Amino acid sequence: MAQMNMVQAINSALDVMLGRDQRVVVFGEDVGYFGGVFRCTDGLQRKHGEHRVLDTPIAEGGIVAAAIGMGVNGLRPVAEIQFADYIYPAFDQIVSELARLRYRTAGDFSAPVTIRTPCGGGIRGGQTHSQSPEGVFTHVCGIKVVMPSNPYDAKGLLIRSIEDDDPVVFFEPKRIYNGPFDGDPHKPAVPWSTHPKGEVPEGHYAVPIGKAEIVRPGSEVTVLTYGTMVHVAEAAVRLAGVDAEIIDVRTMVPLDVDTLCTSVCKTGRCVIVHEATRFSGFGAELSATVQEECFWHLEAPIARVTGWDTPYPHAFEWDYFPGPARIIAALRSVMEAR
Amino acid sequence: MTQSRLHVPHPPARPGEKPDFSYLDIPPAGREARPDTLAAALEIERLGTGMVRVLDEHGHAVGPWNPHLEPEELQVALRHMLLTRHFDDRMQRMQRQGRISFYMKSTGEEAVAVAPGMALQPGDMLFPSYRTQGLFIVRGKSLVDLMCQCLSNTRDMCRGRQMPIMYHWAEGNVFSISGNLATQFPQAVGWAMAAAIKGEDRIAASWIGEGASAEADFHHALTFAAVYRAPVILNVVNNQWAISSFQGFAGGERRTFAQRGPGYGIPGVRVDGNDFLAVYAVTRWAAERARASGGPTLIEHVTYRAAAHSTSDDPARYRPKEEWQAWPLGDPVTRLKEHLIGLGEWSEERHAALEKELEAHVTACWKEAVSYGALTEGPALDPVSMFEDVFHEMPPHLQRQREELRQLLAARQAAADGTGGEG
């Protein structure tokens, strides 16, 4: 085992897969010589060669389209979109092509593409470096959608994504690249070495896609969340003094309905937390699923704590970010409901 | 059996290696002919492979592209470029001190904004990139306003909603800068089409980096501009670097960026981007052409990004530190200054005095700007204002969310005042 932050864990996953499987290629803007603007591909071009770790032109649509072509021709491409906020020029290639290729050719063509992209706010990035667009991609049939919340899961899930025969959009919450974040920007940064999930095996292992994880067992209320908000929810639950069961969803598509709903049926209460905007956000899918599966066990209306339905405002980052205060308020209201 | 092999572009030099710009074909100043403004694109293809240059190595203005500007105009140009540079330096320092969250300098490429800004009419619409802050300065936007935007303070034109440098100025006919690349290029074409539809004599101009020319929006812009002969000037600022990717990664290895124009039926002109007079003259030529229904022009400005991509970037990781010193087209400020001195219209003393004056001006502007608040101190915008302008009229769900935030802020204030509630 080694201590790794999330950047190192992602780097390690790519390194392991480039080493094990000659079909794996890694590319994106500034990914090759420079090693990525967040350093996730640092050293990989030197080690695996410039024909397997490539810089690309600045063209997200081109990056994903080329990945599809490579995937069709037998490679396992891992494409980086530098910020999730810049993924939209590739939207047509993802939605109309990547997601549907297997379906429209009755399985004769498919492209096992993994698209890695940093997402989320809390870094003073304003509206073009802070978005959480995972919900947009969960609405597209034919792509898997993953978002890890710690280094161990990041490496295991990324390896599993690259090995998966279906396309995966792999969101990396950049606020927690270097350490878990409890939602208080005024506290000193905490490194991953303080967290058990900062312990990461150096070799190959996989975390299954489609499995949620109970990160804190509890009996009074279930908190469904993922990404950065797992850590914010943990802090809020501590402050609220509620015996909450916190579940890290980890994979949005396919969704681990069993783990989620077994918990809610047990606790009878549910709070859903995500950084993304609320309206038609992934929380709406979670809420509908819980309502359908757990209706007779619910003792309170399901609550959602999310980003407001506005673009991400630069100056009001911490009034926008759904921090501990809002999660605590939701926990209280759900606990008080009778 | 033959086997294909991938070509991976390499910049001529990496850190620790000697800078090498031998890949650049730089003809002598004054060589290129100045064609009629309505010449057919294919008849003037040479302008895409040559380079329009007016200032020679002695600082003299030579050849048919010399715009013959009055010394007073050149002095104004020098002032605009120097002010841009001092403004950039100050804002970079303020970012390093944590007063603003982010900044992008335009050092070394001030002429590609200031010269077109001066060559166009005030009614012409500008669609800037994030490294053409000189356009705002030429158009007369006050530095205080630009600084207030970077500070996200109570006078911020974006009302706290955008990262630093994402300015706009409706009254000054300068469009909003987007953080997304190349989006403004085809938008400028649409604006220009509207001007033609309405029968106006206004034209549009837009700027993108050579790196961003890889985006599909570049193709959209050129296609629409060519099809409708839109009155628009499309500027590609080839500053050699797009973060860590040198211009070869945007397709600049075998063809110039200007040469892409004729492929669409649009004239492509390659210009010495550090030569104020050349950039001015080429912009004038393209503007005349556009206003006379001759359609669009693609201009490639050959320049060098002397600064880091942004305050988040460290170019020492991917290019030689000495590249800027070795850049064969020099510094646009120095070149214009030497030209003016050669004309007998400027001196080192006047230059030093101007630098001092501008530095004092920037300092005074900064003092005023911070009096309206900073990101983390002083007067602040009301956070509930974040719900405004999502729509023209606020829909009910946003009204509800605004009320929720209001109550949250009141509870936080009460907790801070020690009257209960919680943070």
User: What's residue A102's pLDDT?
Assistant: 98
Same domain, A258 and A192: no
Q: How far apart are CA A172 and CA A120, in angstroms?
A: 8
Same domain, A155 and A249: no
Residue B421 has pLDDT above 60, yes or no: no
Same domain, A174 and A275: no
Length of chain A, please?
338
Q: Give the nearest chain B residue to A126 (CA atoms).
A: B163
Residue A294 has pLDDT above 90, yes or no: yes
pLDDT band at B423 (very low <50, low <70, confident <90, very high): very low
Residue A313 in any domain: the answer is: yes
Domain with residue A303: its CATH number is: 3.40.50.920
User: What's residue B377's pLDDT?
Assistant: 86
- Superfamily holding B41-371: Thiamin diphosphate (ThDP)-binding fold, Pyr/PP domains (3.40.50.970)
Lowest mean pLDDT of A122-126, A236-240, B322-326, name the range.
Answer: A122-126
> Which residue among A58, A127, A129 places its CB closest to the CB of B250?
A58
Which single residue is written with the structure tokens 């040479």? B46
Same domain, A129 and A177: yes
Q: Which domain holds residue A217?
A: 213-336
Same domain, A227 and A309: yes
User: What's residue A338's pLDDT?
Assistant: 67
Q: How far apart are CA A50 and CA A34, in angstroms?
A: 12
A124 touches chain B (CB under 8 A): yes
Could you tell me what percentage of chain A is helix, strand and coil, using 3-state DSSP and rounding each to the nearest 5? 40, 20, 40
Same domain, A46 and A174: yes
Same domain, A24 and A93: yes
Closest CA to A113 of A130, A90, A131, A129: A90
B59 touches chain A (CB under 8 A): no
Same domain, A86 and A157: yes
Contact B160 A319 (CB under 8 A): no
Asked whether B225 and B185 are in contact (CB, 8 A), the reply is no
For B353-408, what is each residue's pLDDT tens digit? Answer: 999 999 999 999 999 999 999 988 889 999 999 999 999 999 999 999 999 999 99
The A residues from 299 to 328 touching B (CB cutoff 8 Å) are 308-311, 313-316, 319-320, 325-326, 328
Residue A223 has pLDDT above 60, yes or no: yes
pLDDT band at A106 (very low <50, low <70, confident <90, very high): very high
Q: Is A129 a catalytic residue?
A: yes
User: What's residue B422's pLDDT?
Assistant: 43
pLDDT band at A321 (very low <50, low <70, confident <90, very high): very high
Same domain, A38 and A112: yes
User: What's residue B418's pLDDT?
Assistant: 82
Output b/e per residue, A92-131; b: 16+ Cβ within 10 A.
Answer: ebbbebbbbbbeeeeeeebbbbbbbbbbbbbbbbbbbbbb
Q: How far apart are CA B166 and CA B176, in angstroms?
A: 7
Average pLDDT over residues A298-315: 97
The A residues from 49 to 88 touching B (CB cutoff 8 Å) are 50-51, 54-62, 85-86, 88
Residue A207 in any domain: the answer is: no
> Count of CB contacts below 8 A, A vs B?
126
Average pLDDT over residues A89-110: 98
Instruction: Provide the percentage of residues in chain B whose pLDDT is more than 90.
Output: 96
Instruction: Provide the percentage of residues in chain B whose pLDDT is more than 70.
Output: 99
Ordered by start, the domain boundaries in chain B are: 41-371, 383-416
Residue B224 has pLDDT above 50, yes or no: yes
Contact A325 B423 (CB under 8 A): yes
Contact A328 B422 (CB under 8 A): yes
Same domain, A161 and A222: no
Same domain, A121 and A248: no
The B residues from 225 to 264 touching A (CB cutoff 8 Å) are 242-245, 249-251
Of A146, A174, A200, which residue constitutes the final position of a domain? A200
For B246-259, what is each residue's pLDDT tens digit? Answer: 999 999 998 999 99
Continuous segment of H or E residues that includes residue B187: helix B184-197
Continuous segment of H or E residues that includes residue A304: strand A303-307
Of A172, A200, A228, which residue constitutes the final position of a domain? A200
pLDDT band at A176 (very low <50, low <70, confident <90, very high): very high
Q: Give the residue, A20 or B419, on which the prediction is more confident.
A: A20
Average pLDDT over residues A199-218: 98
Same domain, A235 and A182: no
Residue A71 in any domain: the answer is: yes
Residue A297 in any domain: the answer is: yes
User: Into how many domains does chain A fold?
Assistant: 2
Continuous segment of H or E residues that includes residue B147: helix B143-151
For B279-323, what is each residue's pLDDT tens digit? Answer: 999 999 999 999 999 999 999 999 999 999 999 999 999 999 999
Residue A206 in any domain: the answer is: no
Residue A312 has pLDDT above 60, yes or no: yes
For A15-55, what is each residue's pLDDT tens digit? Answer: 999 999 999 999 999 999 999 999 999 999 999 999 999 99
Residue B420 has pLDDT above 60, yes or no: no
- Which value does ipTM take for this structure? 0.93
Kindly list the distances between the CA atom of residue B37 and the CA atoms of B47, B212, B281, in Å, as whole numbers in the listed order: 13, 28, 12
Residue A116 in any domain: the answer is: yes
Domain with residue A162: its CATH number is: 3.40.50.970
Residue B419 has pLDDT above 70, yes or no: no
Lowest mean pLDDT of A125-129, B276-280, B389-393, name the range.
Answer: A125-129
For B192-209, what is each residue's pLDDT tens digit? Answer: 999 999 999 999 999 999
One-letter identity of residue A107: G
Closest CA to A183 of A220, A147, A215, A227: A227
